[in-house]
Chains A and B, each alone.
Chain A
Amino acid sequence: MKNIFLICQKELKSYFASPIAYAVMAIFGLIFGWVFFNATRDFIRFSFQSQMMGGGGATNVNDQIIRPLLGFAGTIALFLVPMITMRLFAEEKRTGTIELLLTSPVKDIEIILGKWLGAVALFVCVLLMSMLNIALLFAWGKPDLKPVLVAYLGLLLQGATLLAIGALISTMTRNQIIAGIATFFASLLLWLLSWSTAFDSSWLPQLLNYMSIVTHFENFGKGVLDSKDVVFYLSMIFLSLFLTSRSLESLRWRA
């Protein structure tokens, strides 16, 4: 437990000692802020108009700003994850520091959990930054808090899943760029799977749809906390981290 925390702390520190943390946060902040600005501006225009027309359409901050905004944040996360995970193991393999970790009295699983949690911690920093924007809505409006929290839980789970997959891919190469690109395409694939089932109800498209990482976010986005979705994310994380530990062990037998 102590070791997990130690490695997690070291990972988080090295993210902030390199440009990665700042790049990820800046990209996310810019895109999220811009989308937030547009959504809010349109919303204000719309509510003025409906007031002048005589109070017809109901306006709801949750439905019209927060839900699409956080859904979009989930999509941006797909693109940020490779930047976060590409160096996790690939860099240590290239510089040889992996030898230090693997010859220290630390279990493999502690190394993996530590590194993954370090990546998750950076992702949490990114999410915290987006909360600044949402806080403005709470300052001047009265949105419902609960669906926002559920949506953030969804974002966190989705991000953690992708980060676990990224960590797995990073153990497979010593080249960060390759790890990054492979993770990007893996995330893209998991995202695209949701497109496979427009109107088809046979088992294969349904299965593919179930595997898609975005499908399970939809409920969270609506503010619905369904244990089915939580279980999906948790089992994906477990599977990815388990495969990561296998991959790390195979390093010993191959190297």
Chain B
Amino acid sequence: MIKVEGLTKRYARTIAVDNISFEVDKGQIVGFLGPNGAGKTTTMRVLTCFLPPTEGSASVGGFDVLEQPMEVKKRIGYLPETPPLYPEMEVVEYLRFVGKLKGISNADIARRVAEVTERCALGDVRSRLIGKLSKGFRQRVGLAQAIIHNPDVLILDEPTSGLDPKQIIEIRELLRSLAGEHTIILSTHILSEVEHTCERVIIIDRGKLVAIDSVANLTNRLRGAEAVAVEVEAAGGHPDPSDVQQRLEQVPGVSRVVMKDSRDARLLFEVESLQGRHVRADVARSVVGAGWNLNELRSVGLSLEEVFLQLTAAEPKEKEAEPATEGGQKQ
């Protein structure tokens, strides 16, 4: 449904997207994952025909974004990072306007507006001014706007950013209910977001493609690679931090030890394991064996940055290429 080949987008001095290729099949929900400034929005803007690519090509439903933008635009529903709303319009008035703009005929417009207000639970605010709505409702109006013409492809830029947890769950449920009939690409910088809603993940960092995989495969690849917070206390007197560090590093399977904090006699370390290794038991044994007290041992989830480290460490080639992308960092 979506095909991107060798896509590069260069701004005056920076490379926002650097030679990215991927394909998305019909009916899939794909998460577009990357830290802020990774080039997610730029890629989406190319797909929606808002920005032309510098190099490479992108097509939606077999239509090229440069050659047949009208056909592409008809098939795409797009929710930018800030929903494109007119605050002086009422919700229904706005949806009618967007619907007609997207080419819905006068005969169908009322039915479509009723359908999307129902679907996005906007019934209570249908005749309120958009400018007076809360952030969560605005996001839903934005989503309603994107699906009003029943597009084949939905492109959503950070659909849950800035929402409270309850609203996030509502939006996620809405997205899952939309899957199947629509092909969805959604961008996010939150890992759990992808786990909850997507079937496949495309990870990009500083404009470069890091990984494309199914969510299940990706979690498999990362399974076991865990980070553990360890708090150590000496029974009497102060333990020597470098001593403890050394001892922790010697535990088999540990890849990295960082001291996070020290308070009185207590020292807090973060221990990261190699992939596929469970180190918690060994860490505990080692600490206790040295005669120190083990106050706390808890696993901390891998942050997105650590996922990147893991992924790039697994593919050394990618790591070598990293210094070359520094130009794109600002973007």
Question: Taking beta carbons and an 8 Å cutoff, which residues of A are in contact with B?
Answer: 2-3, 6-7, 10, 13-14, 17-18, 95-107, 252-253, 255
Q: Is the CB of B100 within 8 A of A6?
A: yes
Partner among B50, B85, B89, B97 whose Cβ is within 8 Å of the Cβ of A103: B50
Partner among A18, A96, A106 whose Cβ is within 8 Å of the Cβ of B84: A96
Q: Is the CB of B50 within 8 A of A253?
A: no
Q: A18 to chain B: closest CB distance in Å?
A: 6
Q: Is the CB of B52 within 8 A of A252?
A: yes
User: In the docked arrangement, what's the CA distance between A3 and B102, Å?
Assistant: 9
Q: Is the CB of B100 within 8 A of A99?
A: no
Q: B159 to chain A: closest CB distance in Å?
A: 15
Does B49 reach chain A (CB closer than 8 Å)?
yes
Given A252-B50, A252-B52, also A104-B101 (CB < 8 A): yes
> How many residues does chain B have at the interface if contact means C-beta atoms less than 8 Å apart?
25
Partner among B50, B74, B86, B98 whose Cβ is within 8 Å of the Cβ of A99: B50
Q: A105 to chain B: closest CB distance in Å?
A: 4
Which secondary structure characterizes the binding site on chain B? loop
In the complex, what residue of chain A is closest to B73 when comparing beta carbons?
A: A105
Q: Is the CB of A97 within 8 A of B101?
A: no
Given A3-B101, A103-B73, A105-B70, also A97-B86 (CB < 8 A): yes
Does B76 reach chain A (CB closer than 8 Å)?
yes
- What chain A residues lie within 8 Å of B188 (beta carbons)? none
In the complex, what residue of chain A is closest to B76 when comparing beta carbons?
A: A103
- What chain B residues lie within 8 Å of A104 (beta carbons)? 73, 98, 101-102
User: In the docked arrangement, what's the CA distance between A14 and B84, Å?
Assistant: 15
Q: Is the CB of A10 within 8 A of B97?
A: yes
In the complex, what residue of chain B is closest to A9 when comparing beta carbons?
A: B97
Q: A8 to chain B: closest CB distance in Å?
A: 12
Q: Is the CB of A253 within 8 A of B97?
A: no
User: In the docked arrangement, what's the CA distance between A105 and B98, Å?
Assistant: 11
- What chain A residues lie within 8 Å of B78 (beta carbons)? 99-100, 103
